[in-house]
Amino acid sequence: MLGQSFFLCIFDPYIPLRIMSETDNIPAKQRFTFGKAEHLCLEKEIDRLFSSGERFLSFPQQVVYLSNENGRGAVSVLFSVSKKRFKRAVHRNRVKRLMRECFRLNKASLYELLEEKNRSLSIAFVFIDKELPNYQLVEKGMQKAMDKLIERLR
CA–CA dist 139, 98 (Å, integer): 8
pLDDT: which is higher, 71 or 89: 89
Q: How high is the pLDDT of residue 121?
A: 92
Phi-psi region of 61 (alpha: psi -120 to 50; beta: other; left: phi over 0): beta
CA–CA dist 129, 31 (Å, integer): 30
Residue 21 has pLDDT above 80, yes or no: no
Q: Work out the number of other CB atoms within 10 angstroms of the CB of residue 138.
A: 23
Work out the average pLDDT over 18-26.
49
The average confidence (pLDDT) of the chain is 83
pLDDT: which is higher, 135 or 4: 135
Query: Could you tell me where the beta strands, DSSP code E, fall in 31-134?
Result: 54-58, 61-68, 75-81, 120-127
Give me the domains of the chain, ranges plus CATH numbers: 35-153 (3.30.230.10)
Question: Model confidence at 20, in pLDDT bands (50, 70, 90)?
Answer: very low
Edge-to-edge strands of the sheet including 120-127?
54-58, 61-68, 120-127, 75-81
Could you read off the pLDDT of 108-125 as tens digits, one per residue?
A: 889 888 888 888 999 999
DSSP-assigned beta bridge partners for residue 124: 64, 78
